[in-house]
Amino acid sequence: MDVSSILDAQKAREQNVQVDKETPFEIDCGHLMVTDLNPIDEESYTENLEEHLQNLARDGTQALIGALFGLPTTKSDYGPLAQLPSRAYQLPRAKPLPKPKPQTKWEKFAAAKGISHRKKDKRVWDEEKQEWVNRWGKDGKNKQVEEQWLTEVPRNADADYNPQLAARQERKERTAKNEKQRVANIARGESSSRKTELEKTLATTRVSTASMGKFDKKLEGEKKLRGIKRKFDPTEAPVGNEQKTALKLISSMDSDARKMRKTHRGDEPDNTLNARKAIRFASKGQGAAALAGARGGKGARGGRGGKGRR
């Protein structure tokens, strides 16, 4: 019996499953990632690029599937599930981790009292129709009173009382109440830093007017701004503290005087009179020569006038 054809078929089937490479693949089952570190075959790359890429993708996929079939599995309703190992590569996240959602007022109360939350089903059983109907939304159970053909009217109801309209208004009020509580939970869950920042900004804008916010209109629920309280030293204090305060004041005055005093080159004395400025003021901007000539002319005219009077 010749079984060579059967052996050849089995060998070809195994070749389709096995992947032989000079450098083994680096397989990260946690990320479902395969890294091929083998050099590129230039001949097959330049001859037929599409076929070369298909062969690389096939080899990588086959190696990944073979590694996944070697992992431990667990049973489920959908069939066996492979238990992926921990990830070998630490890849960065595209977005930051989501912040934990703050608890609502009811969730805090339930946690303190140990009340377990039971989520309501979206569909409920209708005894009259003998079928499952929506709890909310289109043809919802919450609209049963509005849509039924017979409704009981209270004894003290008005003549124009409409039970369908009253039931609709009650449902709208419950919806508005839930929306108000949702908005209040969001406002309550905001961080205190944001609230402090808003209060600081509001206080800054209040004192930016000419009246320092005295005549500005206040918002509803706005807190009164607290001013800075002055701190006074105690009436009875040690003598050493008073001495230190006096010396500190004198040293600050001395430092201010040194800053205002002009420094001169070398050992020149400190002239308190600016001669150049004085000459410019006396000559009305004409300079020292004009001032000297004007003084000489006044003296000569005075001498000549004296001689003539004699």
| pLDDT score for 174 | 85
| pLDDT score for 34 | 92
pLDDT, tens only, 281-292? 777 777 777 777
| pLDDT score for 225 | 65
On the question of pLDDT at 261 being above 50, the answer is yes
Q: Where are the domains of the chain?
A: 8-82, 124-149+161-200
**What is the C-alpha separation between 29 and 36, in angstroms, rounded?**
14
pLDDT, tens only, 178-196? 888 888 777 776 655 566 6
Average pLDDT, integer, range 103-120: 82
On the question of pLDDT at 121 being above 50, the answer is yes
Count CA atoms closer than 13 A to 292's CA, side-chain side: 3
Average pLDDT, integer, range 171-178: 86
> Are 102 and 188 a contacting pair, CB within 8 Å?
yes
| pLDDT score for 115 | 82
- pLDDT cut 70: percent of the chain above it: 76
**What is the C-alpha separation between 166 and 151, in angstroms, rounded?**
11
On the question of pLDDT at 170 being above 60, the answer is yes
pLDDT, tens only, 90-109? 888 888 888 787 787 888 88
On the question of pLDDT at 67 being above 70, the answer is yes
| pLDDT score for 193 | 55
> Are 25 and 36 a contacting pair, CB within 8 Å?
yes
Q: Which of 225 and 122 is assigned the larger pLDDT? A: 122
Query: What does the mean pLDDT of the chain come to?
Result: 77
On the question of pLDDT at 206 being above 50, the answer is yes
On the question of pLDDT at 197 being above 70, the answer is yes
C-alpha 220, offset from chain centre: 28
Q: Which of 135, 188, 145, 137 is nearest to 168 (CA)?
A: 145
